[in-house]
Chain A
């Protein structure tokens, strides 16, 4: 399984003369996160130390070292969202999802909640993105209603 996926990434990398970042991006696409075994596999074949992969993967916020939830919820924390009350939205979602301190994924693996700096949709702040669909003007109540569409057992108020 790992062999097959990694071989595909390796072929693409050789053909397009890619970089460690593009390899990691492809790996994340294939596995959903940065898989340690896959890193070791590719490190050997590419003759690039695994530490280089780790260095890049931990530098950029886009790479995840742990598997992620089924639904990806992205809450924008940009300036416009902040002054329009994104904090209350985020606090409500975190509380309702019951995500443990220091984690970002629910225990049942249904949701991953992430904060990003700015998605550039400031005129419809506060913004929440669920699985790439953009929702504007989100309030704590609206967030609950939105998330219920993705999980009917969602414990929103």
Chain B
């Protein structure tokens, strides 16, 4: 077992990594600056470099830290090792987040910009006095403390571009264990864990593997679906950006269990950083003999390829995704047989979501019983959700299945931003539905969500308040699915188009009598007769909003939008008391509807107004209502 030995010893021999024993961060470089140096002692600075972090300028923060440390007499190479890149911590609203481990204590800073770095180095690192006013506050802790992180545990802790960091925290141990077992034992373990596919439908993963394994063909494939197309979902991106090796390890174990030699990761081109990290990870895994021929001397050959999507939502559907890998138009086929029987190039194929694969090494390592300890009887384990919208702490959260919506939104999410009231939660993206505020005690698992006409989907959760119009939101989703419909089957192609037309006229105040019932009728037909999951779930956002917010639809029929969001139904008027007579509104008005002279209050002519909202946006005093 030469290869096995090598990976075990690697973290110790690596010059960079000295095991910081007893600390949770055993993975990360613990560098001792030269004796006599002012910063003697362990110093690790972890900076988040996910898409959110980079957008907030984390690369500049890293450069600044390195520069500052050097300016204080620390050698360049040591300074570089002190500053670690990590994946996303999930709390992108407070980026750049910086964690400093110094002399045995850990402090987290939030909203750090390059100009704050100098003071942190001076006070915290040199003088041992953390800059209290920049430390992450109650919100950060409320956000993190209620979560159960098993999948995201290493995101934000280890360097995603370094395989040794992953191995240092027990990475690839699951693979070693799996390879010492039979394929059958691995499948049984996954089945016993109760793991269900995280892509949305919730099909038992172990069962899928078993079907494929028993297909009796020599050539089989395993595919990871990283075509995270649901607007509002980004857990797969964060997982790949933050801990790509966990996904690879899950795929290699899966490949071994179903008996295949080749796997594909189908990832959307909109995630350039995730693609880059996967490429690095695959290269490193090959270098360590974890991919390729005779993996860890077990006699098992397996290799992975990345396939980039080209921007089509429907390619998240299994059969469409496989057509896309084959290089064709990504159109689904009828479900005459399972992919596990005839999939990619008509060979037996297993397709699982990113998050599903990331669960696998943990299950093999810790056993099915341990895994069943999280979540509910029928939905085991944890689930990562993307909590976004009009909520104070928006970000990525991992909670056990079965936690209530209320706990997630109020406790972890910290409630609503501003003074507006919670109105609904949209789960499952364009395939899911809206759950009204009165259902806050609903436990979130596969079956409970389905019972209120929504679905888990990939786990997006968009919180909306009473300034969001539900009709407009339904229109938003149907215009998305209408645009993404591949056009192969009639119900989806024409049904979504008609529903969009009806919703458009309702939001313009031109709704006709019976339109709401017509929507229900078309929606039900599209749901029952469409070819693939896209069409079968496309009406969900409409049907669930009509079910819970029918009165809002009816108000639109009477020419009134209760949320004040539908522009065509708005009446713009000037609040004369707030008007400061600046005339900005008159300058931006495209139709000359505003009457204004210097030193007189503005007014809006109803007959000329085209309701474009330009004056509303332009007014610096909020005097236009």
Contact = CB atoms under 8 A, between A and B. Distances in A.
Interface of A: 18-22, 24-25, 55-56, 59-63, 77-80, 82-84, 88, 92, 116-125, 127, 132-136, 140, 157
16 contacts: A19-B326, A22-B327, A25-B269, A59-B330, A60-B311, A61-B312, A79-B462, A82-B473, A118-B230, A118-B232, A121-B51, A121-B55, A124-B56, A124-B92, A124-B93, A124-B95
A13 B328 CA distance: 15
Contact of A78 (B54, B231, B331): B231
A135 to B, nearest CB: 7
Given A56-B327, A83-B468, A117 B54 contact: no
B480 A117 contact: yes
B540 interface: no
Given A25-B308, A124-B92, A79 B390 contact: no
Given A83-B462, A123-B52, A132 B272 contact: yes
A60 B231 contact: no
B234 A79 contact: no
Contacts of B234: 118, 120-122
Given A82-B473, A122-B232, 20 more contacts: A25-B310, A56-B328, A59-B331, A60-B309, A60-B312, A79-B388, A79-B476, A83-B464, A84-B390, A117-B480, A117-B484, A118-B231, A119-B270, A120-B270, A121-B51, A121-B92, A123-B395, A125-B388, A140-B617, A157-B618
B255 interface: no
Given A79-B476, A122-B234, A122-B388, A136 B311 contact: no
A134 B54 CA distance: 8
B31 interface: no
Given A56-B329, A60-B330, A122 B56 contact: no
A156 to B, nearest CB: 13
Interface size grouping (class) on chain B: 35 or more
A77 B93 contact: no
Interface string B556-586: 0000000000000000000000000000000
Nearest to A78: B231
B329 A123 contact: no
A24 B269 CA distance: 13
A77 B476 CA distance: 9
B328 A79 contact: no
Interface in B298-338: 308-313, 324-331
Interface string B466-482: 00100001001100100
Contacts of A123: 52, 91-93, 386, 388, 394-396
Interface in B453-506: 460, 462, 464, 468, 473, 476-477, 480, 484, 486
Contacts of A62: 269, 309-311
B229 interface: yes
B204 interface: no
Given A79-B429, A80-B232, A134-B51, A21 B386 contact: no
B299 to A, nearest CB: 26
B308 A79 contact: no
Contacts of A84: 389-390
B233 interface: yes
A68 to B, nearest CB: 14
Contacts of A25: 269, 308, 310
Interface string B320-360: 00001111111100000000000000000000000000000
A21 B325 CA distance: 8
Contacts of A79: 231-232, 388-389, 426, 429, 460, 462, 476-477
Contact of A59 (B237, B272, B312, B429): B312
Given A21-B327, A56-B329, A120 B51 contact: yes
B367 interface: no
A122 B473 contact: no
Which residue, A59, A122, A134, has most C-beta atoms of chain B within 10 A?
A: A122
Contacts of A134: 51, 54-55
B414 interface: no
Nearest to B472: A82
Contacts of A61: 310-312
Contact of B389 (A77, A80, A133): A80
Contact of A121 (B52, B228, B462, B464): B52
Nearest to A55: B329
Given A123-B394, A134-B54, A140-B617, A20 B328 contact: yes
A56 B329 CA distance: 5
Nearest to B486: A59
B613 interface: yes
A84 B52 CA distance: 17
B549 interface: no
